Structure 1
Amino acid sequence: METTDVSPQYKATSLSAPSPTASHIACLTGARLQIRSLVTFELVRNIPLPQTHDVRRSQIAWSPPSASPSGASTPPRRSSVLPPRSHRILVADDDTTRVYDLRDDNWTAVISNGSGGMGKNVTVEFGRDEDEVLIWSDFASRAMAWSLKTGRTVDIRDPKFSGKDGRGWGYRPCSEEQGVGGRGSVLALLCRSPGVDMLMLLAPKTYDVINRVELTTQDAQGVRWSSDGRWLAIWDAASVGYSLCIYTADGHLYRTISRELPDEPSEWGIEGLGIKTVEWVPGDDWLAVGGWDRRVRILSTKTFSPVVYLDHTAEICVPSASVYMEQIDARGFRSFEVAQQPATPPKAPVEKNDTGLMKQGISAMAFNKDGTLCATRDDSTPTTVWIWDLRSLQPRTILILHSPVKALQWHPSHPSHLLIQSVHDSPTLYLYTAHPFASSTSSSDPTTGPPTILSLADNIAKPVGSAPAKWSARWLTTEPDQKPAMVVGHQQGYILVWPQGKDQILRFQSRDDDDDDGDESDDSLYDILTGRTPVPPLRNSASRHSCGSEDAGEDGYGTGARSVQGLDGTGSLDDTFREKREATGGDKSVFDESGLDEMF
């Protein structure tokens, strides 16, 4: 494992945000916005903010990736299409939003809230592209769409939610050819007017109303586009009951889904409560619905009928799955041991004047990139992670941690890497690795081992002051041929972590991410092809060597980067036939091997 410490040296609130394509990372340190390259770790921009800017109530957002540098004064020399990249970044507080462009140091856009009569800025995000900014006001009074080209603004009244974490709104997904993280054109937004839920479908650029649909829900909780942009899933509040509405892309109600009747009235343990989470399974063929009854239902998009049930039981007795329980000794050393089945994980504590029935249901549900694995958490056993194999339709591994699980994140490019974060006071993460060819029919399969424990307390200090550390961790969106990386941090700093070591930077790779002319890249490549310089070693060969601080210096990473040895056996993640398998897989459904496709 290697870590690079790029923590700020200021004793002030710090916010960090990597770009969607992992080319840069932005950090708000004191009264400055610092943007650093994730290739060379050099400081690209150091932007001073006005004294009136409220650092404590700030938020940072990157623009959606764009393949063409529209802000460049001259077109690039190279004829090949440039990879998608985020070129703009915004930093906002309660009253003002400022947008900066990495391609032009002199370009700046400032959006002021004016008198603030409609409330403070709660959520600020880029719109469908880098020329649009969406701002949600306080008390869900309005959402504003700003055009950075024309200065035109469109007010959308009575949005139901504040827009945080994409709740209640979303752009229709675009094709993968438009880039990683690219957004479509039509905006779907939930609104609440005179006690009635409304679905607004807004046109691109102009944000004119394409369709205004009065929903049949009593208290809609969210909206989700399918990845192919054909369907909209809207679910009702849990207090209303189990109610899921499927709409077409133009706003027509296709089907309303309710829970099947149980054989016995007391089977679910709780009656009257419905849906808690909704996620589309990668592949456009399946929709997963997590309920308060501790069951995940996977629906087929051909009929929107349940075809798979993933049940979470209070007592674990699954002979085909491996169960690992975290142990902590007197010295604080963490390890995993195989738990004997049947195993009973700890239940959520019941508070005074509370019932245990309210602390249950599937609150976290994550699918890997190819939709073959699913990780879930049931609130009744908050320390337990269920990892399901959707080919064999049964649990593959069950992890019982010492602390409640906070987040489950699959790597965007590597479908076998799962990052688990719990509510520790120290920066401790869990990295679960699933071999793509492992079988779930035997608990003795060596590839279904316990997760690796990443203890980063020696690499990043706790924040200064009496405020508790708010640890956060997320994957960087690296390419499939690159080694995975993540960013871990708190209010006052962050570090970059490579669990398998860093990739070696080839000499002909451009060192300046913002140099679209590519002079250094072309000249260096020409020298290699003509034999003037030796061919640098490939990444696979470089990964066989140690990844210490000396290697980091040879690879071109800036001085001062610290490297830490660890995580033996990472070479087992490499698979020569992985690419061949993906190439021959085609567009087959993840449930083909289970025979479910033959039912529909």
Structure 2
Amino acid sequence: MLSSAALDCMPSPDGRFVATLRHSELVVRSTETLEVTNAVRLPSGSGSGSPPASSAASSSTSLSPLLWAPSSSKVLICSADQLDVFGATHHPEFHATVRNYTSLTGGKPSLIQFGARDTELLIWSASGLKLVVVDVCGPGVVEIASPKFHQATSAARGLAVRPETGHLALLSRSGGRDILSLHNPVDRQVLRSWYPDTLDAQGISWTPDGKWLLLWESAVQGHRLLIHTPDGQHFRTITASNLLKGPDAELELGIRICQLSPNAEMCAIGDHSRDVCILQTHSWRARMRLSHPATIVPKDTLQVWQEKIEMESLQARASHTFLKASQILSPPGSATDVQSAAETKAGCSMAAFDASSTLLATRLDDSPCTLWIWDIVAAELRAVLIFHSTVSFQWHASSRELLLITSQDPAQHGVSFIWDPLSDGPTPLVPEDHLPTGRAVGKAQVAWINRETESPVLFVSDAEHYLLLSPSNNAGRGANPWQAAVDSSGSEMALDSPTSARFALDEGDGASVVDDTFSFRNA
């Protein structure tokens, strides 16, 4: 287990590191060896020592003070007046700075993220006038006018980077028309742009193998999914007649979500109905249609688990257990009051394939407390997980059939659950049971560490601490992933031990001690 007093911390995309931003220091630690790989005193005005850009911007701006590059080799620190990029390790040492970046967008940007390369930054103007591409190791910047989506919550839908090659596809809008453009992976100059056959496109995405570029139309315009080749040539348009059955198919509301499988062989299409259509990407023909039943009938091949919450006393925390249903039941709705229920959209807005591309998890907006697990090979519903609050979910990136479910109710303080097909229902994980203070300070966060290990690893954090937990130890499914690190230290390290994690940052005029303690425990 790792622990650190921190204002902001985040695991790297590949799960090899955790970066911590605290006061005016950036600390990067290995999740495998538990060693500090880089420790940097931030330049004056950078990091959490000054207000992050998000605090000075409008409510439409949401900038994270710390971001990882896709390759996990660089870390971006965003402050009110400059951007600093550091290496995840101090060998070799790397530092690049973009000063007065707000002048590039004419004010506080709405979103900043890495591009295809570790040195490429994408900066969206809060007004939506332009997208600025900056190479921190190269001269000049590239400005792309009128990106269609520029808010933090929607910008990802209008931009896609092609795997392997790094070609950028961007959806923009000018003169009341959608424009789709392809940009060079190095200098980001336009290779090709065209007006797609859409009235109000809502998203673009490359398939994981980079063979196809997808563009889908607004739901109010019906079912329309446009398929393009990597050079931008239109290949086929999937319409309601390809996705739905019945004479009134063209009158139904269209696509809400378009989710591709990790093996790039399938595409799940969710709309405003209770059905999800699975397309085969080699032919772009419908393979199956999964229909969420209004009533669930438990059977040998379908497990139904219902959450049960009990309070032993007023002071004690609630205990979460799961009962296996044996009778017919219906999933709970989304709201108890009529007004909220009337505002709820119908249909599927969350869907994701597991690492093996054999299971699909879905959630309907009119029953957001229920998760549906589908066996894609057998085209059958395999499990239904029913909770007391709205939940989100995340499959492990490399371990097949391993699901993390997190409650979205603030009163639950980040309570999460781990599920796999062989378990006796979801296993609760309460962050407060593992945090050193025994309670969560601020909002608790639980996520997978995506490093490929024999035992899965979880990242748990609040406003003051972060921890790495291996949930497999209790089940005896594998060795503790930090056993080698503890063995090499010669002894088990205690939380807040002064010898376990004190290291100095020397600026030439003395040492500044940074406390980044860690300990080893069976979680």
TM-score, normalised on structure 1?
0.72
The residue that corresponds to 1:279 in the other structure is 259
Question: Which amino acid in the other structure matches residue 460 of structure 2?
Answer: V
Q: Structure 1's 205 and 106: CA in aligned 2 closer, same or farther, altered over 3 A?
A: closer
Q: Deviations over 1:297-337 (max 9, x none)?
A: 00122332222111112211253301010111232211111
Name the CA distance, whole Å, in 1 between partners of 2:231 and 2:426.
44
Name the CA distance, whole Å, in 2 between partners of 1:344 and 1:114.
52
Q: Deviations over 1:566-596 (max 9, x none)?
A: 6xxxxxxxxxxxxxxxxxxxxxxxxxxxxxx
| Contact 1:317 1:342 survives alignment (8 Å) | yes
Question: Which amino acid in the other structure matches residue 41 of structure 2?
Answer: I
Q: Structure 1's 160 and 59: CA in aligned 2 closer, same or farther, altered over 3 A?
A: farther
Spell out the pairing of 1:318-337 with structure 2 (5 A cutoff): 319=299, 320-331=301-312, 332-337=318-323
| Shift, 1:190, TM fit | 0.9
| Shift, 1:110, TM fit | 2.6
Q: 2:469 aligns with which of 497, 502, 512?
A: 497
The residue that corresponds to 1:48 in the other structure is 42
Is the partner of 1:167 in helix, strand or coil?
helix
The residue that corresponds to 2:28 in the other structure is 35
| Contact 1:94 1:122 survives alignment (8 Å) | no
The residue that corresponds to 2:506 in the other structure is none
| Shift, 1:284, TM fit | 2.5
The residue that corresponds to 1:250 in the other structure is 231
Name the CA distance, whole Å, in 1 between partners of 2:484 and 2:31.
17
Q: Structure 1's 355 and 453: CA in aligned 2 closer, same or farther, altered over 3 A?
A: closer
| Shift, 1:491, TM fit | 3.8
| Shift, 1:559, TM fit | 4.8
Q: Structure 1's 246 and 358: CA in aligned 2 closer, same or farther, altered over 3 A?
A: farther
The residue that corresponds to 1:449 in the other structure is 424
Question: Which amino acid in the other structure matches residue 115 of structure 2?
Answer: G
Q: Deviations over 1:43-101 (max 9, x none)?
A: 43142353464237343222232xxxxxxxxxxxxxxxxxxxx3321111454211112
The residue that corresponds to 2:369 in the other structure is 383
Q: Deviations over 1:503-542 (max 9, x none)?
A: xxxxxxxxxxxxxxxxxxxxxxxxxxxxxxxxxxxx99x8
Question: Which amino acid in the other structure matches residue 379 of structure 1?
Answer: D
Which residues of structure 2 form unaligned runs of 5+?
55-63, 313-317, 496-517
Q: Structure 1's 225 and 288: CA in aligned 2 closer, same or farther, altered over 3 A?
A: same
Spell out the pairing of 1:358-397 with structure 2 (5 A cutoff): 358-397=344-383
Spell out the pairing of 1:410-425 with structure 2 (5 A cutoff): 410-424=395-409, 425=412
| Shift, 1:141, TM fit | 1.8
Larger CA deviation: 550-559 vs 120-129 = 550-559
Q: Structure 1's 558 and 173: CA in aligned 2 closer, same or farther, altered over 3 A?
A: farther
| Shift, 1:471, TM fit | 3.1
Q: Deviations over 1:427-462 (max 9, x none)?
A: 32111123xxxxxxxxxxxx3631211122122255
The residue that corresponds to 1:409 in the other structure is 394
| Shift, 1:225, TM fit | 0.4
The residue that corresponds to 1:458 in the other structure is 433
The residue that corresponds to 1:79 in the other structure is none
Is the partner of 1:554 in helix, strand or coil?
helix
The residue that corresponds to 2:297 in the other structure is 317
Are 1:433 and 2:420 matched, yes or no? Answer: yes
Are 1:346 and 2:343 matched, yes or no? Answer: no
| Shift, 1:475, TM fit | 1.3
Spell out the pairing of 1:563-578 with structure 2 (5 A cutoff): 565=522
| Contact 1:5 1:459 survives alignment (8 Å) | no
Name the CA distance, whole Å, in 1 between partners of 2:107 and 2:85.
21
| Contact 1:17 1:25 survives alignment (8 Å) | yes
Q: Structure 1's 353 and 330: CA in aligned 2 closer, same or farther, altered over 3 A?
A: closer
The residue that corresponds to 1:299 in the other structure is 279
| Contact 1:224 1:279 survives alignment (8 Å) | no
Spell out the pairing of 1:49-68 with structure 2 (5 A cutoff): 49-51=43-45, 53-55=50-52, 57=54, 58-65=64-71
Question: Which amino acid in the other structure matches residue 294 of structure 1?
Answer: R
Name the CA distance, whole Å, in 1 between partners of 2:189 and 2:379.
45
| Contact 1:548 1:564 survives alignment (8 Å) | no
Is the partner of 2:258 in helix, strand or coil?
strand
Name the CA distance, whole Å, in 2 between partners of 1:157 and 1:143.
6
Q: Structure 1's 201 and 91: CA in aligned 2 closer, same or farther, altered over 3 A?
A: same
| Contact 1:33 1:48 survives alignment (8 Å) | yes
Question: Which amino acid in the other structure matches residue 4 of structure 2?
Answer: S
Q: CA RMSD in A?
A: 2.9
Q: Which has the higher contact order (CA 8 A, sep 6+)?
A: 1
Name the CA distance, whole Å, in 1 between partners of 2:124 and 2:10.
20
Are 1:477 and 2:464 matched, yes or no? Answer: no
Name the CA distance, whole Å, in 2 between partners of 1:333 and 1:210.
57
Q: 1:124 aligns with which of 112, 128, 134?
A: 112
| Contact 1:552 1:563 survives alignment (8 Å) | no
Name the CA distance, whole Å, in 2 between partners of 1:221 and 1:264.
26
| Contact 2:258 2:270 survives alignment (8 Å) | yes
The residue that corresponds to 1:222 in the other structure is 203
Is the partner of 2:127 in helix, strand or coil?
helix
Q: 1:20 aligns with which of 6, 9, 13?
A: 13
Is the partner of 1:343 in helix, strand or coil?
coil
Is the partner of 1:457 in helix, strand or coil?
helix
TM-score, normalised on structure 2?
0.82
Is the partner of 1:553 in helix, strand or coil?
helix
Which residues of structure 1 form unaligned runs of 5+?
66-85, 175-183, 435-446, 503-538, 567-600
How many residues are matched? 469
Question: Which amino acid in the other structure matches residue 108 of structure 2?
Answer: K
Q: Deviations over 1:172-202 (max 9, x none)?
A: 112xxxxxxxxx3211111111111111100
| Contact 2:298 2:326 survives alignment (8 Å) | no
Q: Deviations over 1:106-140 (max 9, x none)?
A: 73323422546623122222222223222222122
The residue that corresponds to 2:133 in the other structure is 145
| Shift, 1:416, TM fit | 2.3
Question: Which amino acid in the other structure matches residue 222 of structure 1?
Answer: G
Q: 1:109 aligns with which of 70, 86, 97?
A: 97
| Contact 1:410 1:418 survives alignment (8 Å) | yes
The residue that corresponds to 1:590 in the other structure is none
| Contact 1:60 1:91 survives alignment (8 Å) | yes
Name the CA distance, whole Å, in 2 between partners of 1:355 and 1:369.
34
Question: Which amino acid in the other structure matches residue 334 of structure 1?
Answer: H
Q: Structure 1's 171 and 551: CA in aligned 2 closer, same or farther, altered over 3 A?
A: closer
Name the CA distance, whole Å, in 2 between partners of 1:550 and 1:150.
43
Question: Which amino acid in the other structure matches residue 304 of structure 2?
Answer: V
Name the CA distance, whole Å, in 2 between partners of 1:279 and 1:145.
27
Larger CA deviation: 273-282 vs 51-60 = 51-60
| Contact 2:298 2:325 survives alignment (8 Å) | no
| Shift, 1:224, TM fit | 0.9
Q: Structure 1's 156 and 111: CA in aligned 2 closer, same or farther, altered over 3 A?
A: farther
| Contact 1:548 1:563 survives alignment (8 Å) | no
Name the CA distance, whole Å, in 2 between partners of 1:292 and 1:450.
29
